[in-house]
Amino acid sequence: MMRPFLSAYVIFYVLRVRRYATLFAVLSVGLTTLYVFLLPTLPFGAFVLQAVRFLTPIQGAFALVFGVLLALLITLNVYLHSLGGGSLGAAPAGSILASLVNALCCTPIVPTVLGLIGGFSPFVYGLSPRVEYFFEEYYWLFYILSVAILLYAVVRVTGSVACCVPTAQVRGERDAN
């Protein structure tokens, strides 16, 4: 079981190293920028640069959170890999998929899937608009799920990295040397 604030200590410990701090900064800016363009374009079903003007404040905030958390997760995984540990890739993949929920509205994805599942049933035909509306109206719930998955992944990675971080400073003890 992790002690309180150990995750924060591990993050600051890793980011004290210049190359990891630089990697984190570059990835944060790059991924946040990508999400700023990606989140408002998904309802169009294509990557359209002009859609950035339709960015909502909620999408902007989540773009920043997604970009920073994913950059932190990648940086911690790179550090863990440099220590000889394996990376934890399932949680970030789940978060990325959950953050792409906008693609389930206003694109042919939902009607196609429902058509493949139910054939040409009138029930399935009438269900598609309601399913798409659900994803359009409640996309922010999936964004919150994405943030939770990313936070969980960061905690797991910091738990793996914590074995190789000097903990004497965490306990407030100093070496006599």
Sign of the dihedral through C-alpha 133, 147, 87, 24: positive
Q: Tell whether the model's pLDDT for residue 107 goes beyond 90.
A: no
Orientation of helix 139-161 relative to helix 57-82, angle to 10° = 20
Whether residue 86 contacts residue 23, with contact meaning beta carbons closer than 8 Å, is answered with no
Phi and psi at residue 119, in whole multiples of 5°?
65, -135
Task: State CA 36 to chain mean position distance.
Answer: 13
Which pLDDT score is estimated for 141?
Answer: 82
Whether residue 3 contacts residue 155, with contact meaning beta carbons closer than 8 Å, is answered with no
What is the rounded radius of gyration, in angstroms, for the C-alpha atoms of the chain? Answer: 20
Strand, coil or helix: what is 176?
coil
Residue 59, burial from CB neighbour count under 10 angstroms (0-12, 13-18, 19+): buried
Which pLDDT score is estimated for 65?
Answer: 92
Which pLDDT score is estimated for 19?
Answer: 95
Which pLDDT score is estimated for 25?
Answer: 97
Whether residue 71 contacts residue 31, with contact meaning beta carbons closer than 8 Å, is answered with yes
Which pLDDT score is estimated for 174?
Answer: 40
What average pLDDT score do residues 142-170 get?
77
> Tens digit of pLDDT for each residue in 5-23?
788 888 999 999 999 999 9
What average pLDDT score do residues 26-34 get?
92
Orientation of helix 18-41 relative to helix 57-82, angle to 10° = 140
Structure tokens at 48: 């359209």
What average pLDDT score do residues 149-160 get?
83
Give, in degrees to the nearest 5, the angle at Cα 28 between 24 and 135. 135
At 46, the pLDDT band (50, 70, 90 cuts) reads low
Nearest to 52 by CA among 63, 64, 40: 40
Chain length of the chain? 177
